[in-house]
Amino acid sequence: MGNMETERRGFSRRDFLKTSSAVAAGLVAVMAAGGSPIANGRAYAMNLLQGASDLDILNFALTLEHLEATFYKWVVSGKYARLSGDSLVVATAVRDHEIAHVDFLTKAIKAAGGKPVGPLSNYKFEAVGDTSSAAGILKIAETLEGVGVGAYTGAAHLIKNADYLFAAAQIEQVEARHHGAFRWFNDINPAGGYQDFLGPSYDVPTVKKQIAPIIS
């Protein structure tokens, strides 16, 4: 019975990973979950990507980057254009970074013989927070970047190809700088504390339990 249950969960994960809309919806749900975005993003990736191939993991990262790139496109000159001054300058730079990440991962997946996922026609960032004000947009940006950092951390130890791991590490450290910048705009210590990055008392199992309903 245990083996059958494992196989069923494994099939469910593989089936889920084939649908970028489901993965993106899961990421948005993780953003809206409350608690530490970094810990939540890490737990989501760790749970979802168990047993996944390197190409699946790269497409997971690409799904995240499409989500981020779209958000910042809307923030800079789209329906969420609420920022001005320094925060707009930073958001514009972050937009360019996320677009570059999309291009980089797309090329890497194609070079590996895979089919890169595309962006969705729409994303529901309203589920995460207030999209009508600059303060709300900056808070969503902080949460989004935190989930991104956590997701890369959670996926890292599952990557088998060292070249892919090196590339993921390069992207993650940029995402971490983004997260620190938006924490600063939100009057929060940009460096954070160990609990922001590792979860309270390193309690990964508890965080996994909180994320399990989103996975299911």
Residue 19, pLDDT score: 75
If one compares 7 and 12, the residue with the highest pLDDT of the two is 12
Query: Taking all residues of the chain, what is their mean pLDDT, rounded to a whole number?
Result: 85
36-54: string of b/e by CB count within 10 Å (b at 16+)? bbbbbbbbbbbbbbeebbb
What distance in Å separates the CA atoms of residue 183 and residue 129, rounded to the nearest whole number?
A: 16
Packing angle between helix 134-156 and helix 162-185, nearest 10 degrees?
Answer: 160
pLDDT grade for 143, boundaries at 50, 70 and 90: very high
Contact between residue 66 and residue 102 where contact means Cβ atoms under 8 Å apart:
yes
Q: Is 49 helix (H, G, I), strand (E, B) or coil?
A: coil
CA angle 42, 15, 160 (to 5 degrees): 50
Residue 1, pLDDT score: 28
The 10 Å Cβ neighbour count of residue 192 is 16
pLDDT grade for 115, boundaries at 50, 70 and 90: very high
Amino acid in the structure at residue 76: V
Quick: pLDDT tens for 63-96: 999 999 999 999 999 999 999 999 999 999 999 9
**In the predicted model, is pLDDT for residue 17 greater than 70?**
no
For the residues 141-170, what does the mean pLDDT come to? 94
**In the predicted model, is pLDDT for residue 165 greater than 80?**
yes
**Percent of the chain residues past pLDDT 90, beyond the cut:** 71
Residue 193, pLDDT score: 58
What distance in Å separates the CA atoms of residue 56 and residue 60, rounded to the nearest whole number?
A: 6
Contact between residue 61 and residue 44 where contact means Cβ atoms under 8 Å apart:
no
Amino acid in the structure at residue 197: F
